[in-house]
Amino acid sequence: MRQVYLDYNSTTPLAPKVKKKIEEYMNGQFGNPSSLHSFGLRAREEREWAREKVAQVISAKDSEILFTSGGTEANALAILGVGRKAGKEGRKHILSSPIEHPSILKCLEVLQKEGFQVEFLRINQDGVVQLEDLEKKLLPHTALVTVMAANNETGAIQAIQEIGRILKDHSACFHCDAVQGLGKMDLDVNMLGVDLMSLSSHKIYGPMGAGALYVRKSVKMDPLIPGHQEKGLRGGTENMISLVGFGEACGLLLEKDIHKEQRRIRDLRDGFYQALKERFPFIRLNTPLDHSLANTLNLEFPRWEGERLLFALDMAGIAVSLGSACSSGSLSPSHVLTAMGRTP
């Protein structure tokens, strides 16, 4: 049976060049990058080569990239690390949006239990954060504002540059979960005005188990895992095999014309939506087609049970998701669609 994989926001297959790079690394090396001998030195060189590639895709300095095990850990390090450090100085106010990835929302819950006040910014019916609400809710002691670049369920793109502008002269750190944006939109950290940015390898044809957190030099934060690696902010021997794959995947992005590729994918998606709409006129669209990731289409089939549709499509060889990959195993309605005012 021919299989059609339509779940690229959950994960992507390894690019052949990434696979080759990983194989070459595994065949030739095994050193611990913290070792002082030549085996360690070669591993260190590979790690720093990967760091340079990651830094380049977001126009950051190599020294501002911390490697993590993925987007979830990068988000946790940003939210808990910055939050707890600011909390010690009495700044315990955080702003976010209700449509963030569960890895953000769970960390915010942790901080709430530690006495932080977390407020959520209003979004419109397209799932876009309302900037005037940010201006209204921003307080002198706000420690952190965290808003994602693009939503993993609907693809809605947020006004990150405008948020960065609003926060420019404020002491709050601005964190952006750009896991879904990487490779699909411009992510220049200086142009966007972000202080922290989370990235993940397996969304860009790299391996699972690698990610990064961009941390602007001025940011003060505590580690989650103490240790000497990654400037003392993320202890533990690096997952070298995944890191070199991540570096190669970023290298491939640097060679690509992202805008041209997005136009090609957008045409495919819009054509697919039109064809579906003709065949099933009752479907409802949850993706704002004109300001969303080109690859994402979120559709509602009123009165059709999501799980039954998913399994029927799977039987036919077509893989889709019902929501975020982390929560799509559950039967509860999507928190993103609920926040947008959609009723199940």
Q: Which residues contact 76 (CB under 8 A, 6 or more apart)?
A: 103, 107, 224
Q: In this chain, which stretch among 33-41, 128-136, 161-169, 175-183 interacts with ligand PLP, using CB under 6 A?
A: 175-183
Whose Cβ is closer to ligand PLP: residue 87's or residue 206's? 206
Could you say which residues in the range 289-318 bind ligand PLP, by CB under 6 A? Answer: none
Among 96, 200, 229, 298, binds ligand PLP (CB under 6 A): 200
Looking at residue 139, what DSSP letter applies?
-
Residue 211 found at the interface with ligand PLP (CB under 6 A): yes
Q: What is the DSSP string of 164-186?
A: HHHHTTSSSEEEEE-TTTTTTS-
For 42-194, strand residue ranges (E) read 65-68, 93-96, 117-120, 142-146, 173-177
Rule CB under 6 A: say whether 325 interacts with ligand PLP.
yes
Phi, psi of 272 (to 5 degrees): -65, -45
Catalytic residue chosen out of the listed positions 173, 176, 250, 326: 326
187 closest CA partner among 262, 133, 78: 262
Chain residue at closest Cβ approach to ligand PLP: 71
Whichever of 289 and 325 has its CB closer to ligand PLP, that residue is 325
- φ/ψ (deg, to 5) at 5: -100, 115
Residue nearer to ligand PLP on the CB measure, 97 or 229: 97
Judge whether 213 and 195 are in contact, CB under 8 Å.
no
Is residue 250 among the annotated active site residues? no
How many whole angstroms from its chain centre is CA 193?
17
Neighbours of 9 (CB within 10 A): 22
Q: Is 63 helix (H, G, I), strand (E, B) or coil?
A: helix
Could you say which residues in the range 79-108 bind ligand PLP, by CB under 6 A? 101, 103
Indicate which single residue of 96, 97, 146, 180 sits in contact with ligand PLP (rule: CB under 6 A): 180
Residue 152 is a binding residue for ligand PLP (CB under 6 A) = yes
242 lies in the site for ligand PLP, by CB under 6 A: no
Tell me how far, at minimum, the Cβ of 2 lies from ligand PLP, in Å: 26
DSSP reduced 3-state for 200: strand
Taking CA 318 as the corner, what is the angle to CA 311 and CA 289, rounded to the nearest 5 degrees?
Answer: 105
Shortest Cβ distance from residue 103 to ligand PLP (Å)?
A: 5
Q: What does the alpha-carbon distance between residue 331 and residue 95 come to, in Å, rounded to a whole number? A: 28
Contact status: 158 vs ligand PLP (CB under 6 A):
no
* Stretch of 54-62, 69-77, 89-97, 265-273 lying at the interface with ligand PLP (CB under 6 A): 69-77
Q: Cβ 179 to ligand PLP, closest distance in Å?
A: 4
Q: What residues are annotated to the active site? A: 326
Q: Which residues bind ligand PLP (CB under 6 A)?
A: 70-72, 75, 101, 103, 148, 152, 177, 179-180, 200, 202, 211, 325
